[in-house]
Structure 1
Amino acid sequence: MHPFTAQTSVDDVSVGIEPGEIRSVAHSICRGMFAGRDRPAWEVAVHWLIAGLITLTVSLATLGNGLALQPPDPVATDDSEPVADEPDPSEEGEKAENAEEGTEVDAQYDLSEAMTLEDALRQISAVSDVEFRHPLPEETPVMPLPGPTSFWRALDHVLDEASLDIDPYGGDAGTLRLRPSQSQRPRRTFSAAYAGIFRLEPTVVTNRRVLRHPVLSGLSVELEMAWQPGKTPISLSLPLDQIRGLLDSGEVLTGTGGATLDVATGRDIPLAIISVPLQAPLQQSEKIVELIGRLRMLLPVETHQFEFPLESATESQTVGSVQVRPEGVRLNEQLHEVRLGIEVDVPPEAMESHRGFLLDNGVYAVDATGRRAEHLGYQLYRQVKNGIGIAYLFDLGESAAGWKLVYESPTRIIREEVEFRIEQIPLP
């Protein structure tokens, strides 16, 4: 059951609290008991003892009530779709969506031995290569989370345990900055839906009635859509004709406003805010029971390092669908201008998005001693239907001899489509 409708009495625990939530609830109670002061070792031990007792008590109550309240298994008939079992939050890793060959199931995170914030974030970083900055002590206790599970489920669990949230504008392409969560902010694990590399959370719901022109009336759901850092889509869209919103009154709302909602993506800020337009409800309703839709995207995969000696490189290199060709090195005042021609074998209609993706690729120079020089800027000097010509500026001293250029780029683009399902959205 979703948190917006969760019950709090022990008698109703089998239908009001999911099994995977019991540990987190127990831990939150204990954390509140000891909040606001430094905690000696004996208090930490008491913390875990109380959490264990609460977990055992609620689990036994859940088992007892579950035996009495367990409904019969639904039976699929020839005229209906098979009814899926209710998802178990403890099996978080099994929900990752895959739609194309080459898509990796993002269920590699196991926090079963993580007892502190430092341990948990370190284990997430080891798999994802995402770094974290936060204001809390590294020894802040967190509840372990058995895996395997996905990136967002693992991270949301840790942030809930530590009462942290993500500052979307405080990090960069490989770093997430964390900040204390607001006092009335719902738990991240309760309010989010997960689909592949994406995390979706409703933030604002607006119901608009236009009295003089009822056809302009509508319901709008604002979604925060985040993707895993380092896996930025090249293009992302939401087909509005595939949006369905089931209300608690039984009414079904469909998407309005056009065929497709295009979502702007960027590497440095790994999220976007979108507004999903729906029909205005005709009946009085309190919530959207399910909001269902699909995301279509192009994803870059299989990163490769193209290396060229700057003093003599002339031959192009092709890996996958990407060809990189050195086009000369010249002095530009006190700097060296290194020119590259880059072509990508993709459908022409998608190239506008790919140009931005090519500009985000990593590029640097390395000398014989391993000293690294970052580029100081770039300029496009050619744009064609399937590629670009780009010039990078480097400070390499008097000569480019002994230096090599390293250009990092994904070498394959895959099309992917995933379904998302957001439950229990309150209406105004």
Structure 2
Amino acid sequence: MIQVLGRRLGARLGNGFKFFILLLAGFLGIEDHTSFRGWAQEKPLASEPEAIPAAGTPTPETPSPAVTPSAVPPTQADAALVRKWVRQLEANQLIDRDTAERKLVEMGSSILPDLPAVTPRTSGELKIRLERIRTALQGVEVESFFKASRVTLRGAYSVGDALKQISEQTQNPIELQGEGEGRQVELTCDGVTFWEAVEQVMQQAKLRIRSFSTTEDLLVLGVRGNLEAEDSEDSGVRVQPFQTGPFRIDALSTRTSLPLGGGADGMLEFSFLVSWEPRLKPIFMRVPRKSLQGTAGEATELQAANPAAAPEFSLNLGGCSTQVDVQLQRPPRSERSLSNVQGEFVMAVPGERHQYIFKNFANGTRQTEKFGDVTVTLEGARRNGAVHEMRLMVQFGDSQGALDSFRGWIMSNEAYLLDANEQRQENVGLQTYATQPNAAGIAYLFQINGDPDDYRLVYESPAAITQQTVQYQLRDIPLP
């Protein structure tokens, strides 16, 4: 019996306890205590948990035999390594803690969902290190997020099949409206960007972007011109679109105006369409006019008509494009084209989504969960007539201006209940009860049958908001 006890406790408490068991066996006069010495050299039983290395002991950098990459799928092996290095973040030796932090960062942003959440029970140093790791990985994720998706596709395809292949390779949903799905196109895409691949299909199949045809986050294409006339040219003048990363800019129109009876010099209004890969799902866009400038003809410089303005556009209404109208100084009548127009815009894009989960809220106890740059606090849960009211305060470390009152995107974040059978119950109403520069308080109403503590409240929100500045330049734009 002592042997069994020694095996089980020794596997958990290490070599010091094994030595103590040997002394205890000798004191009790157990003759076969040599078996304890043999046991001291054995590995833990297969049915027992793997012993945790003593503090300060260098941890092997390869997975343990139980979770080698060849024995389990890579995702499980990665999760096991994450747990291993997270445990080492609390090692006694500083060098071991630093090594674990470095190893977790080196594993890349794909491990973000496997990192443990910071709770009130998390130790101070572990909290700091986890937040530092998460910040570093989110930075890497954001950098890769704003790179263009790539497409490899060669040969003859129908338009429908080509768009399906492009969508599957880039995770960007595409919808074709109207006829033209069976039209044949010949593609030569060798690792080209998403928009370059789409452009090949659009040019051969005579398609255009339909910017206001959906409330979903997808690219909608429709027919332009006459599909029956193979060699016909589309009416009008086409300006070469500008593409950078996951963004595309198309010139739409130019128009000059001259006020009558006043001293104003008039202005040139230039309209263009900004499109993005649907996977981005941006929240809003800001267009600072101070960066806007153009050139008419060879050397006539045109400045923004209102350089102090910086209009903003809400982008959470669906689709993957928006029209922008800017105003420049009116060029001389003798000029027939703009040799270039350049400027910049700023996109605010949400990061990875996280589930903030609250339990045992029937007594109204205040609960807080922090993940990434966002802290969600359940400030209270109480019965309000026939419904239960759950008050959530959502605070961003830096909201990048995305919580201004006119931007209702945060109201589209999901909040729902899960019962003991994991059945989802939606809220029956919501309203804001507090607004701050970087925070918003939202009250959700639920109809609960039975004990509220039989449910879990789940709130889903991006863990960070990132701004990306995009510079653009369009060339050879005809003037009216």
TM-score, length-scaled by structure 2: 0.59
Instruction: Report how far residue 232 of structure 1 moved.
Output: 4.0
Moved more, 250-259 or 357-366: 357-366
Whether the 8 Å CA contact 1:196–1:418 is kept in 2: the answer is no
- Which residue in the other structure is 1:8 paired with? none
Query: Is 1:144–2:144 an aligned residue pair?
Result: no
Structure 1 partner of 2:471? 419
1:259 is matched with 308
Q: Which residue of 2 aligns with 1:120?
A: 162
Equivalent AA in structure 1 for residue 208 of structure 2: D
| Code of the aligned partner of 1:112 | R
State which of 348, 358, 363 in structure 2 corresponds to 1:308.
358
Unaligned runs of 5+ in 2: 1-139, 227-232
TM-aligned CA deviation for residue 176 of structure 1? 4.1
In structure 2, distance between residues paired with 1:129 and 1:349: 27
State the one-letter code of the partner of 2:265: L
- How far apart are the structure 1 equivalents of 2:206 and 2:289? 35
Whether contact under 8 Å (1:160, 1:188) holds in the other structure is no
147 and 339 in structure 1: CA distance in 2 versus 1, 3 angstrom threshold: farther
Aligned length: 330
| Alignment deviations for residues 107-140 of structure 1 (CA, whole Å, 9 cap, x no partner) | 3233336723333333343333535353447554
1:341 and 2:393 aligned = yes
Deviation string 1:37-61 (CA, Å, 9 cap, x unpaired) is: xxxxxxxxxxxxxxxxxxxxxxxxx
Give the superposition deviation at 1:355: 5.6
- Name 2:348's counterpart in structure 1: 298
Assess if the C-alpha contact under 8 Å between 2:403 and 2:440 holds in 1: no
| 2:397 counterpart letter in structure 1 | D
Partner of 2:163: helix, strand, or coil? Answer: helix
In structure 2, relative to structure 1, the CA distance for the partners of 1:149 and 1:328 (3 Å cut) is farther
Q: 1:164 to 1:349 in 2, by over 3 A?
A: closer
Pairwise mapping of residues 200-279 of structure 1 onto structure 2 (< 5 A)? 200-210=249-259, 212-269=261-318, 270-279=320-329
Inter-partner Cα distance in structure 1 for 2:358 and 2:156 = 43
Contact 2:239 2:250 in 1 (8 A): no
Is the 1:362–1:409 Cα contact (8 Å) retained in structure 2? yes
Compare relative contact order (CA 8 Å, sep 6+) and give the higher one, 1 or 2: 1
Q: Deviations over 1:331-364 (max 9, x none)?
A: 4555443331100112786641796332232334
Equivalent positions of 1:257-406 (< 5 A) are 257-269=306-318, 270-282=320-332, 284-309=334-359, 311=361, 314-346=366-398, 351-352=403-404, 356-395=408-447, 397-398=449-450, 400-406=452-458
Compared with structure 1, are the counterparts of its residues 137 and 286 closer, same or farther at alpha carbon in structure 2 (3 Å cutoff)?
A: closer
| Alpha-carbon distance in structure 2 between the residues aligned to 1:129 and 1:408 | 22
Secondary structure, aligned partner of 1:281: coil
Q: State the AA in 2 paired with 1:262.
A: P
Q: TM-score, normalised by structure 1?
A: 0.66
Deviation at 1:261, TM superposition (A): 2.9
Between 238-247 and 381-390, report the one with greater CA deviation: 238-247
- CA-to-partner distance for each residue in 1:240-299, whole Å, 9 max, x for gaps? 232221223432212112323313122123433222111111361221121111123333
Percent sequence identity over aligned pairs: 26
The equivalent residue for 2:110 is: none
Paired AA for residue 339 in structure 1: R
8 Å Cα contact 1:287/1:427 also seen in 2: yes
Alignment CA distance shift 1:349-1:142 (3 Å): closer
Q: Please give the secondary structure, in 2, of the residue aligned with 1:172.
A: coil
In 2, are the aligned partners of 1:164 and 1:179 still within 8 Å (CA)?
yes
Is 1:194 equivalent to 2:243 in the alignment?
yes
1:9 corresponds in structure 2 to none
From the superposition, tell whether residues 244 and 107 of structure 1 become closer, same or farther in structure 2 (CA, over 3 Å): same
Q: Which amino acid aligns with 1:240?
A: R
For 1:373 and 1:147, locate their aligned partners in 2 and report how far apart those are by CA, in whole Å.
Answer: 47
Q: Is the 1:288–1:425 contact (alpha carbons within 8 Å) kept by the matching residues of 2?
A: yes
Q: Which moved more, 1:184-193 or 1:221-230?
A: 184-193
Higher mean C-alpha displacement, 196-205 vs 100-109: 100-109
Q: Which has the larger radius of gyration?
A: 2
Give unmatched runs, 5+ long, in structure 1. Answer: 1-97
Whole-angstrom distance in 1 between the partners of 2:200 and 2:448 = 46
Q: What does 1:52-71 correspond to in 2, within 5 Å?
A: none
- 2:153 partner amino acid: L
* Aligned-partner residue type, residue 241 of structure 1: K
Separation in 1, partners of 2:419, 2:158: 41
Cα–Cα, structure 1 residues 190 and 274, in superposed 2: closer, same or farther, change >3 Å? closer
2:163 partner letter: L
Paired letter, 1:287: S
Matched, 1:130 2:170: no
8 Å CA contact 1:265–1:271 kept in 2: the answer is no
Write the distance in 2 (CA, Å) between the matches of 1:161 and 1:395: 54
The CA distance in 1 between the partners of 2:472 and 2:392, in whole Å, is 40
Whichever residue aligns with residue 259 of structure 1, its letter is A
